[in-house]
Chains A and B, each alone.
Chain A
Amino acid sequence: DAGVTQSPTHLIKTRGQQVTLRCSPKSGHDTVSWYQQALGQGPQFIFQYYEEEERQRGNFPDRFSGHQFPNYSSELNVNALLLGDSALYLCASTSSWQTDTQYFGPGTRLTVL
């Protein structure tokens, strides 16, 4: 049973560019959440997708947007990249029908130069 997968593993971008990160949830899960983790800090909630709609959002600007597809996979898009967007981006999935335990992917390390 495949767990949560994310791609790419690492990414380097320059300021002002746009980036798209991808996530496939654990089998049987229908809810995907995205987190940003700066170095030395705990993960910070960006937003959550369920039934292809954004259900909750953390304190992140509109430059951060997302999408969920009918197969429950998800994308995180960040526009107009800033140096401060450099972080580990984590995807987590859960099931709205089960015990709601969240499982995390390995993350995508984004470096903005």
Chain B
Amino acid sequence: DAKTTQPTSMDCAEGRAANLPCNHSTISGNEYVYWYRQIHSQGPQYIIHGLKNNETNEMASLIITEDRKSSTLILPHATLRDTAVYYCIVRVVYNTNAGKSTFGDGTTLTVKP
């Protein structure tokens, strides 16, 4: 699985958009980008994933660059409850590697009032 690079920490004002970057320059053509978040000592929560097109769901938007070497997770209106560690992961799906995720140390997002 390709490695990812994320900033260690970020701050965001409550109500503003939080933009979390992730670099995955060695991503392969069959690897998806996944985002999870983990709120203190709980299990990681799935947020969103994508292959090459931008994706949006009720939680967030995922913007993947055309060369797929980086992506940005956007929380459109951050709340205090969005304070968490955010993990960006890239991995192959639909084969024997399915289910194995390689986590880095993630980005600690702090939403401030």
Contact = CB atoms under 8 A, between A and B. Distances in A.
Interface of A: 4, 31-33, 35, 40-45, 48, 50, 55-56, 58, 88, 90, 92, 94, 96, 99-107, 109
Contacts, number: 69
B43 A102 contact: no
Contact of B100 (A45, A90, A101, A106): A45
Interface in B56-105: 87, 93-94, 96-105
**Is chain B's interface secondary structure helix, strand, loop, or mixed overall?**
loop
B35 to A, nearest CB: 11
Contacts of A40: 105
Contacts of A94: 98-99
A48 B34 contact: no
A44 B103 contact: yes
A104 B98 contact: no
Interface stretch (B9-17, B18-26, B44-52): B44-52
17 contacts: A32-B99, A35-B101, A40-B105, A42-B105, A45-B100, A45-B101, A45-B102, A55-B99, A56-B97, A88-B41, A94-B99, A99-B93, A101-B34, A102-B34, A102-B99, A105-B43, A107-B43
Contacts of B49: 99, 101
Given A48-B100, A101-B46, A42 B41 contact: no
Contacts of B46: 101-104
